[in-house]
Amino acid sequence: MTARAESLAKQFEAKAAEMTGVIAKLSDADWKKITAAEKWPVGVTAHHLARGHEAILGIVKTIAAGKSIPNFTAAMLDEMNATHAREHAGCTKGETLALHEKGASSQRPGCGRSPMPSSNGAGPSSPACPP
């Protein structure tokens, strides 16, 4: 891995760990508060971000392979996001943390090469790489 890629990977890991900590500390009341920007509950917004790891990896792989993402518009993205918000309106903190940790670990080059802090306070964990 190049020095630039390693630097970006470390930055991603730091932000992913920060997100884990923020989600874990949210109270039930905070989880249900409505965000100013999207008008979604905080929990739905966190779930949306956690789910985004997989989608972003797919986009990066597509572009890196020299392919384009045909016929994808901002309106399509808006509709996908609105659908996600409706479908996951009742998401829990536990399922969101699990989705985030799985997605964040799959983004790591050499998947699993460095431990990611666990949301349960038990110290670092090294999740297996997804297939």
Q: Per residue in 1-24, pLDDT tens?
A: 688 878 888 888 899 999 999 999
In this prediction, residue 124 has a pLDDT band, given cuts at 50, 70 and 90, of: very low
DSSP structure string for 28-70: HHHHHPBPTTT--BHHHHHHHHHHHHHHHHHHHHHHHTT---T
Q: Answer whether 11's CB lies under 8 Å from 109's CB.
A: no
Q: What is the reported pLDDT for 110?
A: 53
Is this prediction's pTM over 0.95? no
Query: Which residues does 110 contact at the CB level (< 8 Å), separation at least 6?
Result: 1
Fold of 3-109: Four Helix Bundle (Hemerythrin (Met), subunit A) (1.20.120)
